[in-house]
Amino acid sequence: MPDQKIEHLPGCTCGAHEASASDRRKFLKTLGLGAAAVGLSPLPAFSQTNSGNAEEMRNTQTVKSGKATTITLLHTGDMHAQLLPHDEFFMENGKPVFRQRGGLASLHTMVNALKKQNPGNTLLLDGGDCFQGSAIASLTLGQAIIPLVNRLQYDLMLPGNWEVAYGKQMLLKDMGGYLAPKVCGNMFDEQSGDLLFPPYQIFQIGGVKIGFVGYNDPLTPIRQAPDYSKGIKFSDPVENMQKYVRLLRDREQCTLVFALTHMGFAQQLNLANQPHAEGIDFILGADTHERVREPMVGKYAKVTEPGAFASFISKLDLTIENGKVVDTNYALLDVDPEKYRPDAETLAEIQKTYKPFAENLNTVIGRSKTPLMRYYIIETPTDNMITDAVMLACKPDIALSNGFRFGPPLVPDPTTGEAQITRDYLWSIFPLDSPLVKGEVTGQQIWNWLERELENVFASDPSRRFGGWLIRFQGMNIRFAINKPMGSRLESVKVGKKKIDLQKTYTIVSCEREGDPDSVMCRIKDVKNRRDTGVTTHQAIEGYLKLKSPIAPVQEGRAVATDAPATLLTQITPGVNYEFR
């Protein structure tokens, strides 16, 4: 924007740098691609606020007279390289509903329309996990996504936890390919100790000075394969956040200060109540794909999160008069391809990007009679399909898969009653073709590990919660209580149809996590006799679909919480006024 001034402050250390299945097929054809928590210890109370109307705000006398200024922040996050319109899940009146949403070309049209509502006074921000999560992203190590995202003319970019998936050098190369400034104050070069990105950025917009500090999830090296983060050191935001906030407030005299974060909703809500967040107006969060439709209000800051898969964009309007915020309006907006027709040039670039991969990615590898989706916290149809496939291919006692929220839903065509599963979709639900490894553990190890995994999801201390989703499995059934303390949540475990024998040795199969010691599988330590199976995850799934299609995966009680519904959609504490919908 020509009337914006972006300042890179001295002292910043910079590094080297989800409709029906038939509708989706129709859209792919236009590209020439063919068919292709309940019971948690409560956080301090939050309330929801939403005052004013954005258009009314811009048309008040004080704004028109120049005595006040309305600025607009547009925020996306967790796009996971989803370039096309797709089925998207909504919960309405207690039932799942699916609608066409997303598509980068429609998002581009929408962004342009929103910028025109407040020209020159709008910033476009992304909260990370942008160039990982789809076939095109994985097959090009993120490189194909960067120029497409650049077309939207972002003003600020934050690396997310999955931005490290291709290793440190590709992280720097991909992030360096963005035309927008970058920000992150807790990712350091392990050898030099230098920050990889500037810790803060300042914008002068509409006569208002705005500061941003950025933070990635400090738990990234534990949540993911260790090799992804090799050479990168992460710190807790508590170590330097207040230093940067005070610098922006006191030295730079910023009227507004925002934290652009990728730490997960529970951690971000917790952060809003910690003293080191004092001086931050809003925490613009990402990571857990939550859809915050009204800001959550903490002791020191408000918190938002803009959904995922380019299906949504959040819009925050702030009117400032005499250095004070006098009105606020916030909305989470659907990226509706019917309302926002795809930008023609961006659509052409997406088509060009897909063309070398189209034949392979459009290959139909299976069919499903039920919706494939994985939004639920405890158990999902998609992950049941994946672990069924691993069980069939490798025949262990227990097949394991991590608890991702990757990939938009895939819904059967109402005409045929089936959804076609393509390789393109396979990459979206499992964006790495990891080797499967087999090992041996005792029943006691399984029990202890399950307790740790439950703690990772439902810890009473929100800062200790991983991502948000329970581990997935086949060959095992568990019952547990979310609201019990660490180490005592499990009520029963069965392997096959028998109660687990804590002294017995069981075989397990999971994805290999690059960088894990040979004695570790899926965060289970001291595994014996670990060996390769000779099968990759994608091979197992394709083989399973070839034999079993049409499949019909559903939730079937593999994991049951005795104090929460199977349809639990968030790990946020009851009593907090938030609902995923």
Min mean pLDDT across 190-199, 398-407, 566-575 is at 566-575
**Does residue 380 surpass a pLDDT of 50?**
yes
> Domains (ranges, CATH) in the chain?
5-16+27-36+48-349 (3.60.21.10), 369-561 (3.90.780.10)
For the segment 410-432, the average pLDDT, to the nearest whole number, is: 96
Query: What's the average model confidence in pLDDT over 272-281?
Result: 96
Q: Extract the runs of DSSP E, i.e. beta strands, from 335-418.
A: 364-368, 398-401
E strand spans, 246-301: 256-262, 282-284, 296-297
Average pLDDT of the residues of the chain: 89
At residue 21 the predicted structure's pLDDT band, cuts being 50, 70 and 90, is very low
Please state which of the ranges 45-59, 339-353, 415-429, 484-498 shows the lowest mean pLDDT: 45-59
Give the pLDDT band of residue 405 (cuts 50, 70, 90). confident
Q: Give me the mean pLDDT over the 116-120 stretch.
A: 96
User: Can you tell me the distance from the alpha carbon of 134 to that of 426, in angstroms, rounded to the nearest whole number?
Assistant: 9
CA-nearest of 155, 131, 125 to 144 is 131
Instruction: Report the pLDDT averaged over residues 395-409.
Output: 90
Strands (E), 221-288: 232-234, 256-262, 282-284
Map residue 249 onto helix, strand or coil: helix
How many CB atoms are located within 10 Å of the residue 95 CB? 8
**Above 80 in pLDDT, residue 213?**
yes
* pLDDT on residue 575: 62
Q: Name residues whose C-beta falls within 8 Å of residue 10's C-beta, 6 or more positions apart in sequence.
A: none
- Please give the average per-residue pLDDT across 263-277, as a whole number: 94
CA atoms of 434 and 421, how far apart (whole Å): 19
Convert the pLDDT of each residue in 492-525 to its tens digit. Answer: 999 999 999 999 999 999 999 888 899 999 999 9
d(C-alpha 498, C-alpha 74), whole Å: 53
In order of 142, 316, 558, the CA distances from 475 in angstroms are 35, 46, 9
Q: Which residue has the higher pLDDT, 3 or 186?
A: 186
pLDDT on residue 12: 39
